């Protein structure tokens, strides 16, 4: 049986030390500012989180690209050449076409590497929810499972990713075209904060409007507590350059709600960050199956 390499992409929003710990690699998307294209690094090689989010706060628009074909080819062939099978866990197809690009390339690479497998999985998630699935897959690889076994397990697991995101406004998401079912949320009253989930099909969907920043954060914690497993699993808190004291306050709320769990704090990465905007907070954990579909509730 071949060794297995887990690969994700720049939407995964998992810190570099976690990627390194589990031997996870990723294919880079790009950010674009004033015509300059920069690889979207989860280890923040090209700019700091604060520099990115301050740019957006000042009114400059940062756009994004999906993973280029040559970047997938670089990453895939690096590990195929070392004898690995590959499980690529990509951003939701509702948000990015990267998984389809990877699938087309995988078909072509099969001719060159007939004895190795490449599985390209639509995670139906983004940000840390996608990253959690990559960590889950890497842990299975560490146990010696085959690429097919890992791919099957990830496909079964992905519906249990719970995401609750509090954004300052829907402006960035609207401009990026990354949120569905949002018409009723535009023209919000001053101080109203939308809460975003990832639905069963992988759409970003606003499900609630909560008055005030603190109330929106408390509501995210409450929703996660209601729907995530309280079994000692890591609880992920990802943020877009929020003040340190606010992050510590949210961490304390999570610790009270999930006393057996480690609270893992990290930044929302460049790709997702450009779409959700500064001061966004996302809470992530595995839990009850997600069944909500925006189309069914339109």
| pLDDT tens string 121-136 | 999 999 999 999 999 9
Structure confidence at residue 184 (pLDDT):
47
Q: Exposure of 283 by Cβ count < 10 A (0-12 exposed, 13-18 middle, 19+ buried)? A: buried
pLDDT for residue 191 is more than 80: no
User: What average pLDDT does the segment 103-126 reach?
Assistant: 97
Residue 170: is its pLDDT beyond 70? no
| pLDDT at residue 189 tops 80 | no
Using 50, 70 and 90 to split pLDDT, how confident is the model at 17? very high
Radius of gyration from C-alpha coordinates of the chain: 18
Q: Is the pLDDT of residue 211 over 70?
A: yes
How would you class 157 by CB atoms within 10 Å of its CB: exposed for 0-12, middle for 13-18, buried for 19 or more?
middle
Domains belonging to the chain, first-starting first, are 3-158 (3.40.50.10170), 160-297 (3.30.1180.10)
Mean pLDDT for all residues in the chain: 93
Q: Looking at residue 177, what is its pLDDT?
A: 59
pLDDT at 16: 95
User: What number is the average pLDDT over the span 210-217?
Assistant: 92
Query: What does the block give as tokens for 51?
Result: 């520099």
Q: What are the distances in angstroms from CA 72 to CA 10, 61, 66? A: 12, 26, 11
pTM for the model: 0.95
Mean of the pLDDT values across residues 95-106? Answer: 97
Q: In angstroms, rounded to a whole number, what is the distance separating the alpha carbons of residues 109 and 103? A: 10
Q: Which residue has the higher pLDDT, 168 or 289?
A: 289
The predicted pLDDT at position 286 comes to 98
């Amino acid at each position: 049986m071949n060794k297995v390499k887990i690969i994700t992409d720049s939407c995964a929003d998992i810190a570099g030390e976690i990627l390194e710990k589990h031997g996870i690699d990723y294919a880079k998307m790009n950010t674009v500012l004033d015509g300059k294209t920069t690889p979207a690094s989860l280890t923040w090689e090209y700019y700091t989180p604060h520099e990115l989010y301050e740019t957006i706060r000042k009114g400059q628009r940062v756009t994004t690209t999906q993973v280029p074909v040559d970047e997938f080819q670089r990453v895939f062939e690096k590990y195929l050449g070392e004898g690995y099978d590959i499980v690529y866990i990509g951003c939701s197809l509702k948000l990015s076409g990267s998984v389809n690009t990877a699938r087309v390339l995988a078909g072509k690479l099969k001719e060159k590497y007939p004895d190795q497998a490449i599985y390209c999985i639509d995670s139906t998630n983004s940000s840390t929810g996608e990253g959690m699935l990559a960590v889950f897959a890497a842990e299975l690889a560490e146990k010696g499972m085959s690429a097919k076994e890992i791919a099957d397990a990830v496909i079964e697991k992905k519906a249990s990713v719970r995401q609750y995101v509090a954004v300052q406004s829907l402006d960035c998401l609207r401009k990026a075209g990354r949120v569905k079912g949002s018409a009723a949320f535009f023209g919000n009253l001053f101080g109203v904060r939308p809460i975003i989930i990832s639905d069963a099909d992988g759409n970003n969907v606003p499900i609630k409007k909560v008055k005030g920043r603190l109330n929106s954060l408390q509501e995210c914690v409450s929703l996660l507590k209601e729907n995530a497993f309280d079994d000692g699993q890591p609880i992920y808190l990802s943020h877009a350059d929020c003040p340190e004291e606010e992050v510590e306050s949210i961490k304390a709320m999570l610790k009270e709600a999930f006393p057996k769990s480690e609270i893992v704090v990290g930044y929302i990465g460049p790709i997702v960050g450009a779409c959700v905007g500064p001061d966004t907070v996302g809470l992530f954990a595995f839990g009850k199956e997600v069944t909500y579909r925006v189309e069914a509730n339109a």
